[in-house]
Amino acid sequence: MKQKNKKNDINKVLIALLLLLATGFGYYYTTTSKKLKTQEKNFAREKLEIKQSLDEMEAQYNLALEGNTAMKSDLESAKETLLTIKEELKKTKANDYSAIKKYKRQLATLRKQNQRLFFLNDSLNQANAGLNIALDSTKTNLEITRLLKDSIANENSVLSDKVLKGSKLNISKIKTEIMRERGNGKFKATDKARKTDLLKISYTIIANPIADKGEKKAYVQVIDPTGKIISSKGEITLADENTIKYSAENVFDYVNVDRNIIAVVKVDKNTMKAGKYTVRSFIDGKLAGHSNFDLR
């Protein structure tokens, strides 16, 4: 009888252990399942946010490419990279955690490049803003020209003015903005040589009614304290047949109105030196103006 009772006690203990194990396994399975579902939900949300950000960037590139921009090839290349990432993201499963993290890193890089590209593109667009104003006033200028030709007195005045002023194009004072690129891709003013990443050079070509109309080229030359040309892009021959190197080139249509010019010169901050820099502008092969700035 004692042996039978002992056997029953052992069976009870075994049953209790099995129930305990089953309960523990059930709790572990439920907890783990909930955790996985939560992770999948979070990563699915992150995947959607990445896609939305890429869609917004694509819209920005499409808008920029609608205009006649000199940076068209750079914008198209950046857009092609973006579309490739979008296509790969579309094929990625929501529970592929490593892939989602990779696309988040790529998105951060794209944002930085996007900010830099659009900063440079906006600067170039500002440089071309004067052309639109000129085209809008062409009709008025033609009427003024006709009246001047019909008047002998005014024609004599123009001839006298030609003797006094000549046909050379003059410019306003050259302004140079020294900028450094921050970690987020934005630019901020600086005066330190070793932090300089970009020079934004602006001036206005003053209208000269007797200057020849048509396509012209404006060149900017940036000279460091040692006499070296910064970021040389090529060489030009001046009207006096001397050859010089230049740092930036702007092509524009001259129609006898004031014209704003913005030249963007990207530099290697590791080669920049403290001291006085000289900026020169050349139009029609002639020196149009110059200015200086200092870096420490």
pLDDT tens, 52-100? 888 877 877 777 777 656 667 777 888 888 788 888 878 877 667 777 7
Q: Which two tokens stand for residue 195?
A: 């932090």
Least confident of 112-116, 211-215, 237-241, 255-259: 112-116
Q: What pTM value is reported for the model?
A: 0.48
Q: Residue 202: what pLDDT? A: 94
- Which range, 10-14, 103-107, 161-165, 231-235, is most confident? 231-235
Q: Which two tokens stand for residue 248?
A: 């930036």
- Helices and strands counted in the chain (H then E): 6, 11
Q: Which two tokens stand for residue 69?
A: 């921009």
Alpha carbon distance 140, 117 (integer Å): 37
Q: Does the structure show a pLDDT above 60 at 262?
A: yes
285 or 49, greater pLDDT: 285
Alpha carbon distance 238, 24 (integer Å): 88
Q: Residue 203: what pLDDT? A: 94
On whether the CB atoms of residues 199 and 179 are closer than 8 A, the answer is: yes
pLDDT tens, 126-178? 555 554 554 455 555 555 556 555 554 555 555 455 544 467 888 989 999 99
Say which residue the tokens 């890429």 belong to.
54
Alpha carbon distance 66, 16 (integer Å): 75
State the alpha helices, DSSP H only, in 137-289: 138-150, 152-165
pLDDT tens, 206-232? 988 888 888 899 999 999 999 999 999
Q: Residue 232: what pLDDT? A: 92
